[in-house]
Homo-oligomer: A and B are copies of this chain.
């Protein structure tokens, strides 16, 4: 057996999770080689093939804080305190995310955040980024990673025998793992795709919609959303079926697109001047959920972020979950020193079920955002839910637990089911706040959710 070198770590992918994880590792004294198959995005123009906007929340911010990058990043972030619902007539209604109306998620540019994380990571002596280097082949028995230069075609063996795969939903390393014995794997696509459009800034960089909200145009089986950018623009994303009567396939002419927007999103027509050009110039992208197990191979390989658990974007948790993977992996490193077998085993054990939970919640939230958010019944239950939160300490909505706390996703899911049962008991057959039995509510909450449950940051 050759002596293994634990001081050098291979990191596949210089995306968000890869750049962050590199810093966690460098802070622990590891030398880190980051292999990225694409060119350095700071030096080339062009689409990265991914959504332009992200929602950063508490779990992601925690990781940035621990790596000393919070302050810098938050300068690029725009707080959003709730959803602004746009109906077919252009009427807007604000729904706060939290009972204190102070908690927020942050709109941030994926590309700017990524570039910024790379640059901060590069300032660590131990971190080296290697661009145009694709992970070509993983030898799981030795832990050796073969890297291929995408320009010269030359292959080389990376130093080190530990690889962290942060190479995204279509992870090359996971494709290799797929052929190892008893590797469970699934990739599942939604019938909906998405297309991005732009609302440019108003005169002098003003915001033409409310700046501090996530805008939603819920239309039942489809929806559009918009997130603010620092320059005053908004990035809109239309989530729409690929096929069927109302589908991208049937929006094949400028007339059809114009008619469609006039009917469903009339208030956006004056705001999106390049609609017809952009609609046909921009790609229609797909939405995948990736699940797999195991995430690790002995003490040699671990999958992190989208490589292990790509999810749909409807809870705004993809990046936050990936960053939380890094936070947890760092905790495991603190606990187990350089025993990577134990580090990886505990990381997987702590994260797998939580990844499943957020994957399922993200799928469920699509229905909420595109459909029920505009429903009378939903709004009444939301009102009751906010009151329960304001009146009774231990009651937090699932959205609050996921977005404003760091309790495990699995626990958020579990408490969310209890919340729904409590709301059923309190609201079934009622439609007026005066009819709600708040004494019963308090009893139910204390019994089922625990009288002393709190999350930091809430009164």
User: Measured between C-beta atoms, what is the minimum distance from A158 to chain B in Å?
Assistant: 24
Which residues of B are found within 8 Å of A458, using beta-carbon distances? Answer: none
Partner of A178, one of B184, B187, B242: B187
Copies of this chain, whole number: 2
Beta-carbon contact of A184 and B183 below 8 Å: no
Asked whether, in the complex, the Cβ of A185 is within 8 Å of the Cβ of B182, the reply is no
In the complex, residue of chain B having the shortest beta-carbon distance to the beta carbon of A285: B181
- A residues 177-191 near B (Cβ < 8 Å) are 178-179, 181-189
Return A282 CB to nearest CB of chain B, in Å.
16
A interface, CB within 8 angstroms of B: 170, 178-179, 181-189, 242, 286
On whether the beta carbons of B182 and A286 are closer than 8 Å, the reply is yes
Tell whether, in the assembled complex, residue A187 and residue B187 are in contact, meaning their CB atoms are under 8 Å apart.
Answer: no
| Complex: chain B residue closest to A287, CB-CB | B182
Those 7 A-B pairs whose CB atoms lie nearest each other, nearest first? A186-B186, A182-B189, A182-B286, A185-B187, A184-B188, A184-B189, A181-B286
Q: Are A186 and B185 in touch, CB under 8 angstroms?
A: yes
Q: Which residues of B contact A179 (CB under 8 A)?
A: 170
B contact residues around A188 at 8 Å (CB)? 184, 186
Contacts of A183 in B (CB 8 A): 187, 189
Of chain B, the residue at the smallest CB distance from A188 is B184
Kindly state the separation between the CA atoms of A187 and B292 in the bound complex, as whole angstroms. Answer: 9
User: What is the distance, in angstroms, from A241's C-beta to the closest C-beta of chain B?
Assistant: 12
Name which residue of chain B comes closest to A286, CB basis: B182
**CB-CB nearest in chain B for A178:** B187
A186 to B178: give the CA distance in the assembly, Å.
Answer: 10
**CB nearest to A181 among chain B residues:** B286
Query: Inside 8 A of A189's CB, which chain B residues have their CB?
Result: 182-184
CA of A184 to CA of B286 in the docked complex: distance in angstroms? 12
Q: Within the complex, what minimum Cβ distance (angstroms) separates A401 from chain B?
A: 29
B-chain residues with CB within 8 Å of residue A242 when the two chains form the complex: 182
CB of A449 to closest CB in B, whole Å = 34
18 inter-chain pairs at a CB distance below 8 angstroms, sorted by A residue, are A170-B179, A178-B187, A181-B286, A182-B189, A182-B242, A182-B286, A183-B187, A183-B189, A184-B186, A184-B187, A184-B188, A184-B189, A185-B185, A185-B186, A185-B187, A186-B186, A186-B187, A186-B188
With a cutoff of 8 Å between Cβ atoms, the chain B residues found around residue A178 in the complex are 187
Residues of the B chain whose Cβ atoms lie less than 8 Å from the Cβ of A181: 286
State in angstroms the CA–CA spacing of A189 and B170 once bound together: 21
What is the CB-to-nearest-CB distance from A394 to chain B, in angstroms, rounded to a whole number?
Answer: 38
Known: A182-B242, A184-B188, A185-B186. 15 other contacts (CB 8 A): A170-B179, A178-B187, A181-B286, A182-B189, A182-B286, A183-B187, A183-B189, A184-B186, A184-B187, A184-B189, A185-B185, A185-B187, A186-B186, A186-B187, A186-B188
